[in-house]
């Protein structure tokens, strides 16, 4: 029987969940893997607060470096990108195997971390960094190893998905649902990371690196949050046969470049991803041999995230016990994609909602502006859920496929037209 020691850094919600699982299911893991995985230390500055998990005396300590030193596997669950980065780099320099759920750290410092792992002879596992308990990292790294990945679509933030679900089901406005989500604990007091799309962007960067090699920082990709999506947009999309989701879109292009972008997106009601509701996550992966696959489950929370972390611990323990620290590399440094397509070069279909003076000739003028930029109109209608008696009309335009730069230029020209009031709402459409 092989023995592997585990140290946890960070004894918060997820850390407590991982400790609880390792202590309760040590025997189960041993039966299934043939390796005795023992929790030997927990490092946290707070050693007095009751986390609801009974740990052996002396296991919880504020001396985090000592936990790293005596552990074969170091599990980083501190969060953030400062202290966590320091401890992970220290562990990798000592040749340790690292398990982390830290998506922000990987997205911003992934290249440095994997370089440190290579130099020190360690390995990094990060299943819990994307989509909580859904095994999407392992699937991309191992399950689809024989496939070229054509595209990935992901609903990767439970807070945004919950907000859209409530808006759709209950005809509630964005601000009202956001306040309720904060009250229920689904959204933070400062919800920017979620609703402005950055949490999803961190995860998109990680998925793109697994699918296509290379490592790109979050600031290299287009990110748009959900603040400007109104109840009118939700209802109008429904009338058109779509649902709106905050979507991570990752695609391989014909010239070997990739698209990596995050924004609210209209998707067909009949698409499997459209059925992902409330706080759940969903990821659709298309490979050249496997075709379309769909992953669904809880994307956050103590239990789901702890499950993913413990899965990585078991994998890492098997590697160490068998003397194979990297069966399939978690990051292929030597494989570099041809770069990310700039957003202005992306081609998509578009949903435009605008408020105009209700007078003859306005629609013809708008269609002419679009035509001048090479943007073809697929459908134009008055917003069926907008009632206005002030001489204004709310209209919706659906375009055929067009280049982002052309649509942006058309919008600028339309907003300069005196019959158009305020900003034009732009959303993109993916038929999946």
Eight-state DSSP code of residue 350: E
Eight-state DSSP code of residue 340: B
Q: What percent of the chain has pLDDT over 70?
A: 96
Which residue ranges make up each domain of the chain? 2-133+302-322, 143-298, 344-429
pLDDT in the model for residue 328: 73
Burial (CB < 10 A; 0-12, 13-18, 19+), residue 74, is buried
pTM (2 decimals)? Answer: 0.94
Q: Give me the mean pLDDT over the 254-260 stretch.
A: 92
Architecture per CATH, 344-429? 2-Layer Sandwich (3.30)
Give the orientation angle of helix 13-24 with respect to helix 302-322, to 10 degrees.
60
pLDDT in the model for residue 124: 94
Tally of CB atoms within 10 A around 233: 22
Q: Does domain 143-298 have CATH number 3.30.360.10?
A: yes
Of 96, 103, 138, 203, which residue is the catalytic one? 203
Of 171, 233, 218, 172, nearest to 386 by C-alpha is 233
Q: Is 403 a catalytic residue?
A: no
pLDDT per residue over 266-321, tens digit each? 999 999 999 999 999 999 999 999 999 999 999 888 999 999 999 999 999 999 99
pLDDT in the model for residue 217: 84
Structure-model confidence comparison of residues 382 and 413, the more confident one: 413
CATH class of residue range 2-133+302-322: alpha beta
pLDDT per residue over 177-222, tens digit each? 999 999 988 898 999 999 999 999 999 999 999 999 888 889 999 9
Q: What's the Cα-to-Cα distance from 267 to each of 134, 284, 427, 431, rounded to whole Å?
A: 22, 13, 11, 6
Q: Is the pLDDT confidence value at 387 over 60?
A: no
First to last CA, the chain: 48
pLDDT in the model for residue 82: 96
């Amino acid at each position: 029987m092989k023995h592997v020691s585990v140290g946890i850094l960070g004894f918060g919600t997820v850390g407590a969940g991982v400790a609880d699982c390792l202590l309760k299911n040590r025997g189960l893991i041993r039966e299934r893997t043939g390796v005795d995985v023992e929790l030997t230390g927990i490092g946290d500055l707070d050693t007095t607060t009751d986390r609801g998990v009974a740990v052996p005396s002396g296991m919880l300590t504020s001396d985090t470096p000592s936990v790293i030193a005596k552990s074969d596997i170091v599990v980083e669950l501190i969060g953030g990108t400062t202290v966590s980065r320091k401890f992970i780099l220290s562990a990798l320099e000592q040749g340790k195997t690292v398990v982390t759920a830290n998506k922000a750290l990987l997205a911003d410092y992934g290249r440095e971390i994997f370089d440190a792992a290579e130099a020190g002879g360690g390995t990094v596992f990060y299943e819990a960094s994307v989509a909580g308990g859904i095994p999407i990292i392992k699937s991309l790294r191992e399950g689809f190893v024989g496939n070229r990945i054509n595209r990935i679509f992901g609903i990767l933030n439970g807070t945004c998905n919950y907000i859209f679900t409530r808006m759709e089901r209950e005809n509630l406005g964005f601000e009202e649902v956001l306040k309720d989500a904060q009250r229920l604990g689904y959204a933070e007091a400062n919800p920017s990371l979620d609703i402005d799309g950055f949490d999803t962007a961190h995860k998109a960067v990680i998925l793109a690196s697994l699918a296509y090699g290379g490592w790109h920082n979050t600031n290299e990709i287009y990110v748009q949050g959900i603040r400007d999506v109104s109840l009118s947009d939700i209802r109008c999309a429904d009338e058109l046969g779509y649902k709106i989701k905050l979507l991570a879109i990752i695609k391989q292009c014909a010239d070997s470049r990739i698209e990596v972008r995050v924004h609210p997106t209209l998707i067909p009601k009949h698409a499997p991803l459209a059925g992902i509701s409330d706080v759940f996550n969903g990821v659709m992966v298309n490979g050249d041999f496997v075709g379309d696959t769909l992953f669904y489950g809880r994307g956050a929370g103590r239990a789901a995230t702890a499950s993913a972390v413990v899965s990585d611990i078991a994998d890492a323990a098997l590697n160490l016990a068998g003397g194979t620290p990297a069966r399939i590399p978690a990051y292929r440094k030597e494989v570099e994609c041809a770069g990310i397509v700039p957003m202005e070069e992306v081609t998509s279909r578009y949903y435009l909602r605008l408020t105009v003076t209700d007078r003859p000739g306005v629609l013809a003028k708008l269609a002419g502006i679009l035509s001048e930029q090479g943007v073809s109109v697929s459908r134009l209608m008055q917003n069926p859920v907008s009632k206005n008696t002030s001489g204004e009309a709310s209209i919706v335009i659906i375009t055929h496929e067009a280049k982002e730069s052309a649509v942006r230029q058309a919008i600028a020209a339309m907003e300069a037209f005196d019959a158009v009031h305020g900003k034009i709402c732009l959303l993109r459409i993916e038929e999946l």
